[in-house]
A and B are shown apart, each in its own frame.
Chain A
Amino acid sequence: MSELRFEALNHAQLANVDASFSAGTQVVVGSERDGTDILIELAAGMRRPASGRVLLDGVAAWSNAGTRRRIACLCAEEILLPARNVTGAVALALRARADDRSALSVLDHAGLAHFADQRASALTSREARAVALGIALSHREPALLALHEPLTVAGIVQEDFILRTLSKLGAAGAIVLCTASRLEDAARLGGNACALERGLWLGSAQARPPLSTVTLRVRTPEPRRLAARLSEAPDISGVEWAGGQELLVHGSELERLAQSVVANARAEAIRITALKQDAPPLEALAAARAGLAQAYYERARSAGNTTSQS
């Protein structure tokens, strides 16, 4: 069973990504701005990580040709290999993979035979990606399929063909790592979902909780007494006092939290000189966005399942 691991990976936007994937479909929700394109290139061994490691079955694909041969990939931008025409470019790619099939049969299988005699430079970027996807999906026994937005070329390559092939390869033990910027695409690809948010990795567990805690900064001349009183209040989940006249009070709902702080202070006749909401950290905001995305994704998926059942 294959395993893909990102260990303390830092490269361009990607910040300290730690994740591992096993066989089956894995969808990373995010856009190129979030670093999904770089994630795919690193997974495919096309770039050397600036720091950290990317390992497929314990081997860095970047520096091992044998491992790269077990990977099929589709990048955000594809430039076909230089050749007279598309057939020549595909034939050279197949030779590089030590695949003895004919270029025409690969193109035909993906429904792209009409491109065969065209000049590679005459293809649009979307058509070039479609041809590259055709080459990737023709891999006989991939350990990893690293595909950037595979469903954006649906229409040139049949969506049904893409989904069927991915499902078949995933079932055969390959890791199918796809990215999707549209939640509908993520839902159609299925499998486990996780997210990249401006380079920050949000695993499926992290992606779920929305902004669950609210923090208030409370200034008072008697912080010790107020902290003691608030620590027993049911609406308050935590109180921090690091010395000085300021307390950090945590809870789940802003209005109830503020009311509770004021009521408890009044009950003890403690004066409050300032009360304001603490800005949440960027990580919490990112997690909230991803949580929202996850909720939409799951709703879209369940709606898709209902439609297909009916």
Chain B
Amino acid sequence: MNGVRIGMALARERLRGASAPVVLFLSGAALFAIGVLERQSDAESAPDDALSGAAFGIALPLLAYLVSERVCAGQRLERSVDGVARYGTNRRAALLGVLLASALCTALGSALLTVAALLGAHAPHSPSLASDLRTSVGIALIAGLVYALYFGAASVLCKRGGGRKWALIVDFVLGAGGSALAAPWPRGHVRNLLGGAPVVELSQASAWLALGVIGVACGALSVVSTAE
């Protein structure tokens, strides 16, 4: 447990600074503005368009990618904990701590971005705002968590964690479809949960399950591929 806590402390120190809140605030403001523009264009479909397009389609994966890059200090995931492993901390435990911190931050950031997008897309006193917020924030929390683990697993690939970039590209390209090729990536299942086209005709309940499987598989891959 001490190793996990040290990993979390390491990630927290790496995330510390003004740039992370500033980027989050600017992204939130941009999503709010996009929501407002969508509402002015078509008020009925504005929440769906703002969420599935700008928020979950672009902002959330980018946020998860940036958080992952930052907590890994631009390194491969297992190398990012070398600094504490040299003093005798178990690499796997420290890595788990880094992943947990990354997942929590991404989930929280995703929820805030979703709230910003919905506040822009809904009229100020819209009766559906509260229920939409409840549902979408739940999806954002899970999607943020899974994306963080997904980028964590990708960070064990390539030099200096270059697998993260590939994971972002693959998720954008393959995850956009609805065929079996889209099944291993989070994008298609998140889209399904938001009411978009499903991946290989999976139900929404199965999409929750698929996201859970992707998250657990990515977390396990990161830990297993690292030496103690």
Contact = CB atoms under 8 A, between A and B. Distances in A.
A70 B88 CA distance: 8
Given A62-B227, A81-B83, A92 B9 contact: yes
Among A44, A69, A84, residue most surrounded by chain B Cβ atoms (within 10 Å): A69
Given A65-B89, A65-B90, A96 B228 contact: no
Given A63-B228, A81-B10, A82-B10, A45 B86 contact: yes
B85 interface: yes
Given A81-B10, A92-B10, A68 B227 contact: no
A62 B82 CA distance: 11
A63 B9 CA distance: 22
B86 A46 contact: yes
A121 to B, nearest CB: 11
Contacts of A84: 13, 16
B84 A92 contact: yes
Interface string A152-192: 00000000000000000000000000000000000000000
A81 B88 contact: no
Interface residues of A, number: 27
A163 B134 CA distance: 65
Nearest to B227: A63
A274 interface: no
B59 interface: no
Interface string A53-68: 0000000001111101
A285 interface: no
Among B10, B84, B87, B91, residue most surrounded by chain A Cβ atoms (within 10 Å): B87
A93 B87 CA distance: 7
Chain B: interface size category? 20 to 34
Contacts of A33: none
B14 A82 contact: yes
Given A63-B228, A64-B228, A69 B13 contact: no
Interface in A36-83: 44-46, 48, 62-66, 68-71, 73, 79, 81-83
Among B2, B3, B88, residue most surrounded by chain A Cβ atoms (within 10 Å): B88
Contacts of A62: 227
Given A45-B86, A46-B86, A48-B227, A96 B6 contact: yes
B13 A46 contact: no
Contact of A65 (B13, B14, B82, B85): B85
B227 A81 contact: no
A73 B86 contact: yes
Contacts of B10: 81-82, 92
A65 B3 CA distance: 10
B13 A96 contact: no
Nearest to B9: A92
B85 A44 contact: no
A85 to B, nearest CB: 11
Nearest to B91: A65
Among A68, A79, A88, A96, residue most surrounded by chain B Cβ atoms (within 10 Å): A96
A97 interface: yes
A98 interface: yes
B227 A96 contact: no
B71 to A, nearest CB: 10
A95 interface: yes
Contacts of B6: 92, 95-96
Q: Which 3 A-B residue pairings sit nearest by Cβ, starting from the closest?
A: A69-B88, A96-B87, A82-B13
12 contacts: A62-B227, A65-B85, A79-B83, A81-B83, A82-B10, A84-B13, A92-B6, A93-B87, A94-B87, A95-B6, A95-B9, A98-B2
